[in-house]
Structure 1
Amino acid sequence: MILTYIFSCYIIERYYSYMSEGFSIYRQRLLFLHSNLKSEMTMFGDMMKNMQSQQEEMQSTLKKIKVAVSKNGIAIEANAAREILNISIDKDLMEDKEQLEDMLIFAINDITQVIQQQEAVASQDMMSKVLPGGLAGLGDMFSK
């Protein structure tokens, strides 16, 4: 009877020691995962800040690129950030409303195409700066 009691006490003691060791290992793993997650979140936050600054840089670059289209008596000036800066209309077009509307549509469509081309060129330049040496050609993938 005493041997059974001693043996059961030994078993219980070993069980608790295994549990505490297991808990310790589990706790260490959790702390390790938490520290890795924290560093990854910091890295992700830094990457997002970097992307945001690059986007702001891209917008300021696009605002500096001026584009102009002159067609059938209508001249439109804009920048590559899709902001119309000036529209000039020939006096002869003022007499015919329908013709003026049609010419405005053509000129606006033309300036939109020119802006898209300038955006593509600027984004390719930006991607070539951001991507490492051999991967600079991947910038073309995003422009189409």
Structure 2
Amino acid sequence: MFGDMMNMMGKLKETQQKIEATKQRLDTVLIDEKSNDGLLEVTLTANRKIKSITIDESLLEDKEQLEDYLILVLNKAIERATNINETELAAVAKEGMPNIPGMDLFK
């Protein structure tokens, strides 16, 4: 029993390391999102860090329109990044979870 517990602890530590490595890798996964008309483009990482924002000159004339564009495009990009992030981290966590009856957390 003690050996099983040590084995599980080792697996959990290994899974923790894999999760950290995945988080670091997700910093290199870039998500590009554009407005429908291409006037605004944002790029962020799968860890939801903004890398760049490109704004067409025509949007600089209307503050309210620019704000609306930023909200829409950033929200779409953040949603995509979150989906990628959660999928990747859940896969690593599921892979490293010990097989404990009744603990089907990642189905």
User: TM-score scaled by structure 1?
Assistant: 0.56
Q: Show structure 1 runs of 5+ residues with no match.
A: 1-35
Distance 1:89 1:122 in 2: 31
Q: Which residue of 2 aligns with 1:49?
A: 13
Superposition CA RMSD, Å: 3.0
Equivalent AA in structure 2 for residue 111 of structure 1? A
What number of residue pairs does the alignment pair up? Answer: 99
Equivalent AA in structure 1 for residue 28 of structure 2? K
Equivalent AA in structure 2 for residue 93 of structure 1? L
- Indicate the percent of aligned positions where both proteins have the same amino acid: 24
Q: Which residue of 2 aligns with 1:63?
A: 27
SS at match of 1:139: coil
Displacement of 1:117: 1.3
User: TM-score scaled by structure 2?
Assistant: 0.72
Q: Show structure 2 runs of 5+ residues with no match.
A: none
Q: Deviations over 1:111-143 (max 9, x none)?
A: 11111111132124324532579xxx8534xxx
Q: Is 2:89 aligned against 1:123?
A: yes
Judge conservation of contact 1:66–1:78 (CA < 8 Å) in 2. Answer: yes
Equivalent AA in structure 1 for residue 19 of structure 2? Q
Bigger RCO of structures 1 and 2 (CA < 8 A, at least 6 apart): 2
Q: Is 2:59 aligned against 1:93?
A: yes
